[in-house]
């Protein structure tokens, strides 16, 4: 039995309306929308809203940071030491794509970190490399012969949300980690991702800097803004077509049972007429 003509007249306007409102549909599914998101329709490379300048290339250690400190030549001293941690040691288990359960030492409010065998060392305000050299010299002068100290700040992270093959928190394990490196660690972007809609939310969340990136243009890679900072939030939206398709699928899931009921009612009316 053919579907009644009035259903065709009903369905066609609804489908057209969904297609015409695809921008709104995508916005419904996206996270952390901002009025400036409209630039993604025309962005060429990188566009910055509330530009706060270029941050220091090298991170300076702050109170409450967690430091993983390891002596390459003597593993019993540092972050790979066996046995249970003491009160000033904690384990990090953030998702990174690298090793988890990293033994780390907190930087106290006074700027000190309490390390095995050598005690407290002031590290606040130092870069990772400067702190490693300072700790290395102290171990050499007090305890070890020619130590080689490796140091990382294990609480530095960025958060990936949206159309990435792997979402979540990713540690910034070294200085000058780029956006592309983190996207690579996440396994790239999904097939339904819109490369023109990537944005980085940085800094104070009440008045953040927003960095829009067009991943289609290779010249975007030259921007210093794509060197990631601690607590960056990186969001990538799906294409308008994918958003509309999802909306149509949801609409179809509701409409199909309704059509069955309507067709059954028409059939009963036709038989009993």
Which of the listed residues 98, 129, 153 is the one where a domain comes to its end?
Answer: 153
- Is 177 found in the same domain as 138? no
Mean pLDDT of the 238-257 span? 69
Q: For the ranges 10-14, 66-70, 89-93, which has the lowest average pLDDT?
A: 89-93
Mean pLDDT across the chain? 81
Is residue 246, in this structure, part of any structural domain at all?
no
- Is 196 found in the same domain as 231? yes
Highest mean pLDDT among 10-19, 142-151, 194-203: 194-203
Mean pLDDT of the 126-154 span? 92
- Is 137 found in the same domain as 172? no
Q: How many Cα atoms are found within 13 Å in the side-chain-facing hemisphere of 245?
A: 6
Is residue 160, in this structure, part of any structural domain at all?
yes
Is residue 109, in this structure, part of any structural domain at all?
yes
- CATH label of the domain that carries residue 149: 3.30.1950.10
Q: In this structure, how many other beta carbons lie within 10 angstroms of the beta carbon of residue 263?
A: 14
Is residue 76, in this structure, part of any structural domain at all?
yes
CB neighbours of 92 closer than 8 A, spacing ≥ 6? 66, 68, 100, 101, 102, 104, 154, 155
Give me the phi and psi of 194, to 5 degrees please: -100, 105
- Is 161 found in the same domain as 233? yes
- Is 101 found in the same domain as 128? yes
Calpha distance 122→59 (Å, rounded)? 16
Is residue 259, in this structure, part of any structural domain at all?
no
- Is 229 found in the same domain as 110? no
- Is 113 found in the same domain as 95? yes
Give me the phi and psi of 147, to 5 degrees please: -70, 155
- Is 168 found in the same domain as 37? yes
What's the pTM value of the predicted model, to 2 decimals? 0.71
CB neighbours of 206 closer than 8 A, spacing ≥ 6? none
pLDDT at 251 over 90: no
Pairing of strands 66-71, 102-106: antiparallel
Q: In this structure, how many other beta carbons lie within 10 angstroms of the beta carbon of residue 199?
A: 26
Is residue 110, in this structure, part of any structural domain at all?
yes
Is residue 252, in this structure, part of any structural domain at all?
no
- Is 51 found in the same domain as 164? yes
Domain that holds residue 81: 66-153
pLDDT at 10 over 70: no
pLDDT at 100 over 80: no
Calpha distance 174→58 (Å, rounded)? 9
b or e along 62-77 (b: 16 or more beta carbons within 10 Å of the residue's beta carbon)?
eeebbbbbbbeebeeb
- Is 161 found in the same domain as 146? no
pLDDT at 258 over 90: no
Calpha distance 268→96 (Å, rounded)? 61
CB 55 within 8 A of CB 124: no
- CATH label of the domain that carries residue 210: 3.10.560.10
Mean pLDDT of the 90-110 span? 64
- Is 201 found in the same domain as 73? no
Give me the phi and psi of 210, to 5 degrees please: -120, 125
* Confidence bin at 76 (pLDDT 50/70/90): low
- Is 169 found in the same domain as 148? no
Is residue 162, in this structure, part of any structural domain at all?
yes
What does the pLDDT look like over 156-203, one tens digit per residue?
A: 999 999 999 999 999 998 889 999 999 999 999 999 999 999 999 999
pLDDT of residue 117: 87
Helix (H, G, I), strand (E, B) or coil at 80: coil
Domain count, the chain: 2
């Amino acid at each position: 039995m053919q579907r009644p003509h009035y259903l065709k007249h009903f369905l066609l306007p609804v489908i057209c309306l969904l297609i015409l409102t695809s921008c709104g549909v995508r916005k419904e599914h996206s996270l952390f929308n901002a009025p400036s998101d409209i630039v993604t329709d025309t962005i060429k490379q990188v566009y910055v809203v509330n530009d706060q300048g270029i941050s220091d290339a090298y991170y300076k250690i702050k109170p409450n940071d967690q430091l993983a400190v390891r002596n390459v030549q003597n593993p019993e001293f540092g972050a790979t030491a066996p046995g249970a941690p003491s009160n000033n040691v904690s384990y990090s288990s953030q998702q990174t794509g690298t090793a988890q359960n990293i033994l780390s030492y907190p930087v106290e409010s006074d700027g000190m970190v309490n390390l095995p065998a050598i005690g407290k060392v002031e590290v606040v305000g130092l870069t990772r490399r400067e702190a490693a050299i300072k700790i290395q010299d102290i171990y050499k002068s007090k305890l070890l012969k020619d130590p080689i100290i490796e140091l990382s700040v294990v609480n530095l992270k960025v958060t990936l949300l949206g159309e990435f093959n792997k979402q979540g928190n990713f540690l910034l394990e070294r200085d000058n980690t780029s956006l592309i490196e983190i996207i690579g660690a996440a396994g790239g972007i999904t097939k339904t991702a819109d490369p023109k809609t990537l944005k980085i939310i940085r800094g104070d969340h009440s008045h953040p800097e927003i960095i829009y990136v067009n991943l289609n243009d290779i010249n975007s890679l030259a921007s210093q803004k794509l060197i990631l900072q601690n607590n960056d939030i990186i969001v990538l939206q799906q294409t308008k077509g994918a958003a509309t398709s999802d909306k149509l699928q949801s609409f179809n899931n509701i409409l199909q049972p309704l059509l069955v009921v309507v067709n059954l009612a028409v059939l009963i009316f036709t038989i009993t007429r």
